[in-house]
A = this chain, B = another copy of it.
Amino acid sequence: MEADLIIRGGTVLPMAPGREPIPDGAVAVRSGAIVAVGPAAELATIGGAAEVLDAGGGLILPGFVNTHTHLAMTLIRGVAEDLPLKEWLEDHIWPTERALMTADTVALGTRLAAAESLQAGVTCVCDMYFHAERVIDEVVKAGLRAVVPESLIDFATPSCPTPDIALARQRELLERYGNHPLVVPAVAPHSPYSVSAANLVKEAELAEEFGAPLIIHVAETRWEVEKIGAEKGVTPVAYLADLGILSDRTVAAHCVHVSEADLELLGEFEVGIASNPVCNLKLASGLAPLPQMLARELKVAFGTDGAASNNTLDLLRDAQLASLVYKGISGDPTVMPARTVVEMLTVGGARVLGLSDRIGTLEPGMRADVICLALDRPRAVPAYDAFSHLAYAARAADVCHVVVDGRIVVRDRALLTVDVPSLLAEVREATEAARARISQ
């Protein structure tokens, strides 16, 4: 057997059902796919000419999957804070977005987000923003796997003056990128309260025609639940189910305010749930019933949401925080144990995005999205158990190597695909306008 990349020198966490960590393990990669996983001694005969990534005694695991974000919003991280939700959104976030977000700045913000994501061990993201063609260019150049929709709202977006134009743009994307190695094109009606029933149905039909993911915000706030309840007489989840929008290709972001009946529906339709605990707490939207979702074996994993409300794309932090918060809130320290947290970050995220046939575990036949976490700092020792370390002690800054689709994109903590100093300079220049607006 031959390989062109061997990742070794650490404990391998395959994250496949029933597979335990492999001390001193290795992963062999050929043409972007994993060809072997096992003890390093067993893989020693493979690929003498292969490039080697040494984890330096750390951990080797599938890359993290960020199931919900708005990549380009990195440009407005921290632009306004500590305000009531309506004031924050209407007086600060939206005006700044309108002033700042052009096709070029969306591209720049996406490049920044891709760089941040990869350095944080995130190898796959589900975006939801505008100017999808530019987003795709940037994630592909950075080497980040991504689900990328053009978003549809009933009013004009930064990229599409009307919903019909958004629909046409989505169709073009689905046709053009249907077989891309890194990008999964998708449709994204913004939410049940900002898209008409007619347009929601058109979106579902388009997604169905192409077998594509449909990304939508659902039941994020009490306000939304009350509005849909008043207008439609049902919960947002029931409304979408009635319209025929929900399927196993749906990625429903948030699902904070959901009833037991809603959870039943989400399970019945095999909907993927993207939970964003940092954002939901920060905006005081509430907390999704994650333990109940897990008990029902729903497809649920973590998202960071956009950097305007997180303020980072540090998915590991969302996962660690969730594990702590649900223990504390429930009064039960056994809730969301370490292994569950790591499963949600990897294979769980892949399931939510409908990509578990290709990513989320380290097994032969899967695409090689692999990260190495170093245990080389005082804060990282001792590490008695790999899952415990990841769930409670590891930090994004420990990510030392990142491989996406077999390509080394981060090596020794350095990003190889983006010129970071130039990127930071461009970001500082592009955000001066927003800065000037704030200081007024």
Contact = CB atoms under 8 A, between A and B. Distances in A.
Nearest to A383: B78
A330 B287 CA distance: 11
Chain A: interface size category: 35 or more
Identical copies of this chain, number? 2
A77 interface: yes
A115 interface: yes
Contacts of A330: 284
Contacts of A84: 333-334
A333 B381 contact: no
Contacts of A66: none
Contact of A324 (B78, B282, B333): B282
Contacts of A283: 327, 333
B328 A282 contact: yes
Given A281-B324, A378-B115, A393 B78 contact: yes
B321 A324 contact: yes
A323 B395 CA distance: 19
Interface string A72-83: 001111110111
A337 interface: yes
A281 B116 CA distance: 28
A121 to B, nearest CB: 12
Given A78-B383, A378-B112, A378-B420, A284 B332 contact: yes
A428 B381 CA distance: 7
Contact of A81 (B388, B415, B423, B424): B388
A155 interface: no
Most buried by B among A278, A324, A424: A324
Interface in A278-312: 278, 280-287, 307, 310-312
A418 B385 CA distance: 26
A385 B314 CA distance: 19
Contacts of A286: 328, 331
A86 to B, nearest CB: 10
A67 to B, nearest CB: 19
Most buried by B among A82, A393, A415, A427: A82
Given A389-B78, A393-B78, A395-B395, A119 B378 contact: yes
Given A287-B328, A312-B393, A384 B438 contact: yes
Contacts of A377: 116, 119, 420
A97 to B, nearest CB: 14
Interface in A169-192: none
A238 to B, nearest CB: 24
Given A116-B379, A286-B328, A311-B389, 8 more contacts: A75-B382, A76-B382, A81-B392, A119-B377, A280-B328, A283-B327, A311-B392, A385-B438
11 contacts: A280-B328, A282-B327, A284-B327, A310-B392, A311-B393, A312-B379, A314-B379, A321-B321, A321-B324, A379-B396, A382-B431
